[in-house]
């Protein structure tokens, strides 16, 4: 089966680099699946959990907003943050979720509310990725 190179990069490091079978990500206009030979594409990404499929297994990787660049033989995700599930401190993510929920209840300004919503999205993505370890691959 054909593979495509995937690199997930943040300003601090390369989080993931490997050949994969498929990537599922949330672009600004909806979910998108990328397989080897896909038509070239550049799109913005939302805070979400991208799903990397390789050899009938899947790894969830929470990301913050960024960009997806697709070439027939390579996929680049350039994102603000990304973590592998085993790197996530679940207790810290759950506390961040609680703080964001509390700020959403208390904040009055639209800017503060938008920041709290983004923080909540990131925390929920991290929690979901950390808890879905059953299909991970090395």
- CATH number of the domain residue 10 falls in: 2.60.15.10
Does residue 138 lie within any of the structural domains?
no
Digit-coded pLDDT (tens) for 87-137? 877 788 788 878 888 887 776 767 677 777 777 777 777 777 777 754 444
Beta-sheet strands, E only, within the chain? 4-9, 14-20, 22-27, 30-34, 41-45, 48-54, 57-63, 66-71, 74-79
Residue 13 has pLDDT above 80, yes or no: yes
What value does the CA radius of gyration of the chain take, rounded to a whole number of Å? 16
What is the percent of the chain with per-residue pLDDT over 90, rounded to a whole number?
53
Of 38, 45, 23, residue with least CA distance to 73: 38
Residues 56 and 73 in one domain: yes
pLDDT at 103: 80
pLDDT at 67: 96
Distance CA 50, CA 67 (A): 12
What's the structural domain count of the chain? 2
Choose between 110 and 11: higher pLDDT.
Answer: 11
Q: Give the pTM.
A: 0.75
Across the chain, mean pLDDT equals 86
Choose between 124 and 34: higher pLDDT.
Answer: 34
Answer yes or no: are the C-beta atoms of 88 and 126 closer than 8 Å: yes
Q: For 91, list phi and psi in degrees, rounded to 5.
A: -65, -40
Residues 110 and 46 in one domain: no
pLDDT at 65: 87
Can you give the residue range of the structural domain that contains 11? 4-85
Residues 43 and 55 in one domain: yes
Residues 108 and 58 in one domain: no
Which CATH number does the domain housing residue 104 bear? Answer: 1.20.5.440
Residues 67 and 32 in one domain: yes
Residues 27 and 67 in one domain: yes
pLDDT at 134: 43
Residues 59 and 102 in one domain: no
């Amino acid at each position: 089966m054909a593979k495509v190179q995937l690199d997930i990069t943040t300003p601090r490091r390369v989080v993931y680099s490997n050949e994969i079978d498929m990537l599922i990500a949330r672009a600004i206009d909806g979910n998108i699946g990328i397989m080897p030979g896909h038509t070239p594409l550049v799109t913005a990404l939302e805070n979400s959990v991208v799903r990397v499929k390789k050899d009938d297994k899947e790894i969830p990787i929470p990301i913050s907003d960024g960009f997806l660049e697709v070439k027939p033989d390579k996929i680049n995700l350039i994102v603000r943050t990304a973590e592998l599930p085993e790197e996530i401190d679940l207790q810290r993510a759950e506390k961040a979720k609680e703080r964001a929920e509390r700020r959403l209840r208390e904040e009055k300004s639209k800017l503060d509310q938008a920041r709290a919503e983004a923080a909540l999205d990131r925390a929920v993505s991290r929690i979901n990725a950390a808890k879905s370890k059953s299909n991970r691959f090395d």
